[in-house]
């Protein structure tokens, strides 16, 4: 009789845990954490260059300060007295299409096989923004620049990276201003050139960002008083003015 649950990723074989055929005890002694991440996702151990590129990608997603929703969600949850796992879950739930989610959608577009002008036309005609492009602070995202530089150094700057750069140029022509590739767009292009399915896009962001969430949750516990709240002077009520309830 077929078993209801099947996986080709990991299992207990002859009483020992294995991941894609390798004993976990051997992996503990013989590979890095980044190697193990690649193994989980790809089914094989990475080359030195693949490991180095994945390292760079994950480092770029670890943290970006207190501003992003993932960090503030996690710290607010920790401030309310929740345990580590609950606060981390709150942080993860702060990741969405406007924060961290652009990697997946950008990679999907880049992997469609469209020319740059057709890709831009397709998205703009729908009234949407092109994910992975634009930044509130940077005119040129230094993280994206570094990711692309690393990809060139290691041999992973391929057709998808070139396509992303071409999209940036066309966007600037159409909008009469620079809309830079951001770190999400750079990661999307590089993972596409490394052969990853676009549906793993959010996963790359989450793998790195959870490290930052753990650090921020712990800092919230040890540095701040419980029950953090928004200061009254930062809140403006703009609803209906005070009124009397008419008694019947």
Collect contacts of 127-132 with beta carbons under 8 A, ≥24 apart: 130/106, 130/167, 130/171, 130/179, 131/97, 131/101, 131/102, 131/105, 131/106, 131/184, 131/185, 131/188, 132/102, 132/103, 132/105, 132/106, 132/164, 132/181, 132/182, 132/184, 132/185, 132/186, 132/188, 132/189
pLDDT of amino acid 98: 86
| Cβ count near 248 (within 10 Å) | 3
- Set out the domains of the chain in order of their start, with CATH numbers: 10-46 (no CATH), 62-223 (1.10.230.10)
In what order do the strands lie in the sheet containing 22-23? 10-13, 16-19, 22-23
Q: What percentage of the chain exceeds 70 in pLDDT?
A: 100
With 0.85 as the threshold, say if the pTM is over it: yes
Distance in angstroms (rounded) separating the CA atoms of residues 89 and 99: 15
Q: What percentage of the chain exceeds 90 in pLDDT?
A: 85
Q: How many helices (H) and strands (E) does the chain have?
A: 11, 3
- List pLDDT tens digits, range 186-237: 999 999 999 999 999 999 999 999 999 999 999 999 999 999 999 999 999 9
Distance in angstroms (rounded) separating the CA atoms of residues 97 and 227: 28
Who contacts 133 (Cβ-Cβ below 8 Å, separation ≥6)? 106, 167, 168, 171, 179, 180, 181, 182, 185
Cα separation of the two ends of the chain: 71
Stretch 89-117: mean pLDDT: 95
- Whether the per-residue pLDDT at 175 is higher than 90: the answer is no
Joined together, the tokens standing for residue 147 give: 């990711």
pLDDT of amino acid 1: 65
Write the CA distances from 26 to 19, 21, 30, integer angstroms: 10, 11, 6
Residue 110's pLDDT band, with cuts at 50, 70 and 90, is very high
Distance in angstroms (rounded) separating the CA atoms of residues 205 and 198: 12
Stretch 86-90: mean pLDDT: 98
pLDDT of amino acid 176: 79
């Amino acid at each position: 009789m077929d078993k209801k649950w099947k996986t080709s990723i990991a299992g207990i074989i002859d009483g020992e845990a294995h991941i894609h055929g390798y004993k976990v005890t051997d992996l503990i002694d013989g590979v890095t954490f980044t190697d193990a991440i690649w193994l989980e996702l790809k089914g094989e151990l990475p080359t030195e260059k693949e490991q180095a590129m994945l390292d760079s990608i994950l480092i770029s997603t670890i943290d970006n300060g207190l501003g992003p929703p993932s960090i503030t969600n996690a710290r607010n949850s920790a401030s309310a007295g929740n345990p580590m796992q609950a606060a981390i879950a709150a942080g993860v739930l702060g990741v969405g299409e406007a924060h961290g989610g652009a990697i997946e959608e950008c990679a999907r577009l880049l992997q469609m096989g469209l020319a740059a002008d057709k890709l831009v036309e397709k998205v703009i005609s729908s009234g949407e923004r092109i994910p992975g492009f634009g930044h509130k602070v940077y005119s040129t995202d230094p993280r994206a620049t570094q990711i692309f530089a690393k990809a060139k150094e290691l041999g992973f700057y391929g057709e998808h990276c070139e396509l992303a750069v071409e999209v940036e140029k066309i966007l600037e022509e159409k909008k009469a201003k620079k809309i830079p590739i951001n770190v999400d767009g750079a990661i999307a292009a590089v993972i596409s050139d490394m052969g990853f399915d676009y549906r793993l896009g959010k996963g790359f962001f989450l793998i790195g960002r959870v490290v930052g969430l753990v650090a921020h949750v712990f800092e919230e516990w040890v540095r701040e008083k419980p029950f953090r709240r928004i200061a009254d002077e930062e809140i403006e009520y703009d609803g209906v003015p005070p009124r009397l309830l008419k008694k019947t």
